[in-house]
A and B are shown apart, each in its own frame.
Chain A
Amino acid sequence: MTPDMVDMLAMLTPLLAAAIQSGAPLLFATVGEIITERSGTLNLGVEGMMLCGALAAFVVSLGTGSPWLGALAGCAAGALLAVLHGLATLTCGGNQVVSGLALTILGVGLADTLGAGHIGQVAPGFDPVAIPVLSSIPVLGPALFTQDALVYLSFGTPLAVWVLLFRTRWGLHLQAAGENPAAARAAGVSPLRWRWIGILAGGALCGLGGAYLSLSATHLWTTNLTAGRGWIAVALVIFCAWRPQRAMLGAYLFGGVMALQLRLQAMGAALPSSLLLMMPYAMTVLALVAFSRAKSRAAGRNLPPAALGVPLAGPQGGEGR
């Protein structure tokens, strides 16, 4: 190996570690939004739910000294905000796109208003724990297995959700609510209940994604801590074709390209930073186009749930406006 290659290899481990870390909040939120959309509801309020989750997690961890309670509070805050989305879209039959946007605007406003007093404080958060044996695997070990507890949780979440969605009766019911509510109802499954479950579970995971930012990525709270990551998550859901296992690919690809452009700068690449910063966004579109081309071969596999965004008709739900 030439010295250059040794250098590149030495950079690979930190790059992987960074990709996993900056991908983790995206991963939680993306998987959460996948659950929501699989159950038939589009929720564009991810950014607002994440930010409220980040604040709640920070405040509770600060108050109790326990980051785990903080993370739980983050989930609760995300789910609580999601209740508003459920009320507006399921109970009142409002438009899902607008309700989601309103949720983002409201959530960001609320978190920034309520959190003003906590800026400049440091809360107890999660710190990296090396897993014995596994962390000594060359190159991959340090990147994958010297992370903090929430990152390990982020490895398991997509897998667990995949099992729940595709290998359990509950998952089938939830998907039925998103694919064909009328048939679900005929089969004795209440689409309304499963859409509520989808919205709440999704909100909780988005809140957890926010909690990652204020407890793991940093141990801080500041205004607008999420800085647009919620929107990236919304895009990644489409990117990974509503499949939780592919969410890992999307989140790590995006996080990795972001981490890569920073490292290219640090290594002294004399490229304008605006162009480098375009990379993650351009890559996402390019990868999507590549998937779309492959799609003709696997027709129908990348389609959204058939009843996504379609309000429930009949006595239990509203009518679309």
Chain B
Amino acid sequence: MPLRLVDRTKPLPWGGFFVATISLAAALAVCALLLTWQGKPGLHGVWLLVDGGFLHGYALEDAVRKAIPIFLCSLGVALCFRMKLWNIGAEGQFALGAVGATAVALRFGHWPAWAVLPCMCLAGAAAGALWALGPALLKRRLGVNEIITTLMANYIGVLVLQYLVYGAWKDPVSFGFPMTELFSDAAQVGLLPGSRIHYGLLYCVAAGLGFWWWISRTRLGFELVVSGENSRAARFAHMPYGMLICLAMGGCGALAGVAGFLEASASVHRLQPSIMVGYGFTAVVVAWLGRLRVPAIAAFSFLLAGFRVGVENLQIELQAPAAMAGVLEGTILMAVLSGQLLNHRRLVWISRRTTP
């Protein structure tokens, strides 16, 4: 074949941006085709999707609310990815975070807000971090692969949550339905004045800034990045590799735990099994898309959240199946992934005479 892929000497300027845009367009086109195939107006469908996710005040608010837990989990997962740790356990850490925060809320709900909320946040972070430390220690001490332990810990974490909510923590006035009692007003994270977005947004800003500062301005953060890129070099330089593993996993657990705390306290105001909707898995995707750049992680969290909100509009207006969201998300990912090719390679026509 005379067509050859040749490495670019340097990446396309603004390449990432172009690739993302083109991939997005490709994914939307696939969606339009699938809709048309089902006998629905494809292009109008794409418009409904974008309109319902991004083009109204309420849509933006909804997208931001949904993006908050995704952002926090993704930040944590990104930390692990930088250490080449395949932590897919943010889901379970999220569950344990919600459990930890709820334990405080149920016991100390009568405290004033300034006392109980920080305690809930800390308890959520601690519970999530501890849940992540199990796999971290198993990896460090016994070399047990973290993919399998974090995956299993997800299932167990969700069952722990269920065990408590179906058992000891069940609300006596809920007629036996699996949910805890409503958190006291003090134990609920409130809304930003004049909006439907809760204060969780500020937690995100703080977490994002802290993350950036830690990675780029501290020695430990530097060591983490370096040892992720080359663990042998890191060991030669006497970097605390084992501790860094625990730190990255624990940090991820803490961030996912805070996300769990916010979902329970700010969005649902109680603990119930249905707060688990797979943010932990979405986080893996977002963390990769955003790499270690905080603004990019925020942008992709928002984008995916917006599309999930927009798909609901598509459903209301066109009765498209809910599974459409998966097709859209999967296609976007595949397209972005494959699009990387254009960023770093170019197609050249090599005439037969010059090829040896």
Contact = CB atoms under 8 A, between A and B. Distances in A.
Interface residues of A, number: 50
A318 interface: yes
Interface stretch (B49-57, B124-132, B137-145, B245-253): B137-145
Interface in B281-300: 281, 284-285, 288-289
B41 interface: no
A238 B148 contact: yes
Contact of A285 (B149, B163, B289): B149
B119 interface: no
Contact of A110 (B151, B327, B339): B327
A87 B341 CA distance: 11
Interface in B143-160: 143-145, 147-149, 151-153, 155-156, 159-160
A285 B152 contact: yes
A231 B151 contact: yes
A88 B143 contact: no
Contacts of B281: 101
Contacts of B338: 87-88, 91-92, 94
B331 A106 contact: yes
B34 interface: yes
Contact of B334 (A106, A272, A285, A295): A106
A108 B326 contact: yes
A109 B325 contact: yes
Main secondary structure of the interface of A (DSSP, over half): helix
A308 B142 CA distance: 20
A215 interface: no
Contact of A97 (B86, B321, B326): B86
A106 B86 CA distance: 21
Interface string A271-285: 010110110011011
A106 B149 contact: no
B62 interface: no
Interface string A186-224: 000000000000000000000000000000000000010
Interface in B29-50: 34
B148 A275 contact: no
A231 B148 CA distance: 9
10 contacts: A91-B341, A94-B337, A98-B337, A99-B333, A105-B285, A108-B326, A238-B148, A239-B148, A278-B160, A289-B142
